[in-house]
Amino acid sequence: MQSIDNMDNAEVVALVVVKLAQVYMRMTDLLVRVTGVRDSINLTQKACQRHEELASARQSVWEAHCASLDALKTLPGWEDWMLDGPNERVYSIKEASKV
Q: What mean pLDDT is predicted for residues 48-73?
A: 86
| pLDDT score at 83 | 59
Inform me whether the pLDDT recorded for 10 exceeds 70: yes
pTM of the full predicted structure?
A: 0.43
pLDDT, residue 1, reads 58
Q: 80 pLDDT exceeds 70?
A: no
Number of H helices, E strands in the chain: 3, 0
> Hey, what amino acid is at 35?
T
Among candidates 76, 53, 72, which has minimal Cα distance to 64? 72
**Mean pLDDT in residue range 69-78:** 76
Average pLDDT over residues 4-22: 82
